[in-house]
Amino acid sequence: MTRTDPTRAASRRAAAAVAFIAALATACAASAESLGDAISLAYQSNPTLLAARADLRALDERYVQARAALGPTAGVSEQHSFDDSDVDQAASIFGPARTARQTATTDTAQLLVSQPLYAGGQLETAVNAAHAEVRAGRENLRQQEAVVLNTVITAYADVLLWQNLQTIARQNVELLNQQLAEAEAKFAVKENTLTDRAQARARLAAARNSFVQARAGFADAQARYLAAVGVAPGQLEPLPDLPGIPPSVDDAFDAAGRANPQILAAVYTEQASRARVAQAKASDGLRVSVSVALSQQPAAPYVRDQNVRGVVASVTVSKSLFTSGDHVSRVHEAIEVNNSDDQKLSAQQRQVVAAVAQAWGDLAARREQLTGLRDQLENEEQAFRGARIEERIGLRTTIDVLNAEQEFQSTKVALAQAFHDEYLNRVNLLAAMGLLQAELLQPDIQPYRPEQNLERRTLLSRAMPWESLVMALDSIGAPHLAANRLTGELTESQRPPGGSAMPPAPQWSDLAKYLIDPTGG
């Protein structure tokens, strides 16, 4: 058996230790500590978001293809053939009948370049429709980004909530342990009854069960965080401020009409289908194209050394005369698709109005609830303190103290939940307005710019100077494209009347003091 060199083994162990420490440091660095860190990580690595960006890049190619139809096409063909033939020759005065064998190779080559000049408007409308579809796709990507951000923020807030619920449950167990110890001591000297001791034990058992549930809820929240962000949560910082809440609900509706990605996607989708109507109408129009063909072929069969080279320039004019109803059917189909998109925009506006109104109302109600819960908690704290003192001098029973303690702890749970819900209500309102973006909470993030991909993909077509000329020629006599009559703006008739005033936002920095046991145990 070969003995291992101790020095070499020690070196390998040291190298492995260094690698482990480096990997651990990398993992710790990747662990998100703040909400901005979590958003940055998800923004760069969330598979759902990356798939949506790939879908948009694929949609960009439709616009590239529509632009490519304005430019020339070129093709080359080459044929190499070999001919081996037996030719029967009849008898003549020069000789008897015989069979002659002839062999020949033939090389034929052709280069064809074609450029469309006019298509009755099909070229121009195809470009316009594809561009509108790309813009709709960008808005759909923005909506997907908002969904992912909402998921990340919710997962982050859930982890903090269950941390706070664990803290409250642990404080409750500690407090009831002290309460049970006092009940046991009083029972030993006959100052209270077996019932008092049993009540204290029952409340302690219930508190321990609540702590177990809070611990399980925290584990579930960590799993959801891992799924949303991509890494397990570390020691998370408190939730940061969330700016962008407008002063009035009318301002919220105005923002939604201008920025909501679902409304804007519906607007651009309608524009695209309207352009497709004009494209369908132009499909049976006049088509004009020019072509140049360069060819080389043998002058005659079996003549190897004589070739004919030619240049043929041609202008092709074509127009369909009868399509058995296909053209009319396609026009009607395009019109009905556009009618459907028109109604879908109206439906989308209604849904966004309902979402903004609901988010606004929920946020206002949650903030009012927070004010009431803070007042309730202060009074219950005072009642609990007083009940403990009065129980020690015989003015209160053990169950009075236990009930006061339970009400106090339940309100702490409700307050932590209300802080959590108020923050997510703000997130929902920003999402409904279309303002929930990564830059809102992480200004240093490098946003994804979908227009850069399209600019890069259309460099070739933009380098052709005659493209604008073909577009201008194609627009002559093209079917009339209806004016853009739809926008995302929400009119007064589309908005619900009135709206509650928004109470001031709570200070998240104050939450910790409500979760610390003010009785000091």
In the chain, the domains with their CATH numbers are 34-72+121-284+327-515 (1.20.1600.10)
pLDDT digits (tens, 9 = 90+) for 186-217: 888 888 888 888 999 999 999 999 999 999 99
| Phi-psi category of residue 243: left, alpha or beta, with phi > 0 → left and psi -120 to 50 → alpha | beta
516: pLDDT confidence band, cut at 50, 70 and 90?
Answer: low
63-79 pLDDT per residue, tens: 999 998 888 889 998 87
Q: Which residues pair with 101 in a beta bridge?
A: 86
Distance between CA 55 and CA 137 in Å, rounded? 8
pLDDT at 198: 92
Rounded to an integer, the average pLDDT of 95-122 is 82
Beta bridge pairs of residue 104? 83
pLDDT of residue 222: 96
Check pLDDT > 90 for residue 300. no
Q: Which pair of tokens denotes residue 50?
A: 């990356």
Q: How many CB atoms lie within 10 A of CB 258?
A: 16
| Residue 62 to residue 57: CA distance in whole angstroms | 9
Higher local confidence (pLDDT), 105 or 388: 388
pLDDT of residue 64: 93
Owner of token pair 């169950």 = 399
250 with 325: CB under 8 angstroms? no
Look up residue 104 and give its two tokens.
Answer: 């020949």
**Pairing relation of β-strands 307-318 and 98-118?**
unpaired
| Between 362 and 458, residue with greater pLDDT | 362
Which residue has tokens 């990356």? 50
How wide is the angle at C-alpha 350 spanned by C-alphas 344 and 352, nearest 5°?
100
CA nearest neighbour of 268 among 63, 467, 470, 53: 63
Rounded Cα gap, residues 70 and 88, in angstroms = 55
Q: Three-class SS string for 201-243?
A: HHHHHHHHHHHHHHHHHHHHHHHHHHHHHCCCCCCCCCCCCCC
pTM as predicted: 0.82
What pLDDT sits at residue 7?
43
Q: Which of 10-14, 107-111, 453-457: highest mean pLDDT?
A: 453-457
- Kindly report, residue by residue over 496-506, the tens digit of the pLDDT: 776 667 787 77
Q: What pLDDT sits at residue 27?
A: 42
| DSSP helix/strand/coil, 108 | strand
- Strands of 257-306, DSSP E: 287-298
Mean pLDDT of 411-420: 93
What is the full DSSP assignment across 414-482? HHHHHHHHHHHHHHHHHHHHT---HHHH-TT-----HHHHHHHHTHHHHT-TTHHHHHHHHTTTPPPPP
Give the three-state DSSP class for 71.
coil
- The pLDDT assigned to 284 comes to 87
Share in percent of the chain as helix, strand, coil (round to 5): 65, 10, 25
* 441 touches 148 (CB < 8 A): no
Residues 200, 183 contacting (CB under 8 angstroms): yes
What is the pLDDT, as a whole number, of residue 412?
A: 92
Position 431 pLDDT exceeds 90: yes
The residue that leads in pLDDT, 361 or 80, is 361
Other CB atoms within 10 Å distance of the CB of residue 516 = 12
**pLDDT above 80 for 87:** no
Please provide the size of the chain in residues.
521
Per mean pLDDT, which range of 136-145, 256-265, 354-363, 493-502 is the poorest? 493-502
Beta strands in 287-374 (DSSP E): 287-298, 307-318
pLDDT at 18 (0 to 100): 37
Residues 388, 399: contact at Cβ < 8 Å?
no
62 burial type by CB count under 10 A (0-12 exposed, 13-18 middle, 19+ buried):
middle
Question: Regarding predicted confidence, which is higher, 473 or 30?
Answer: 473
Mean pLDDT for the chain?
84
pLDDT at 485: 57
Task: Report pLDDT for 31.
Answer: 46
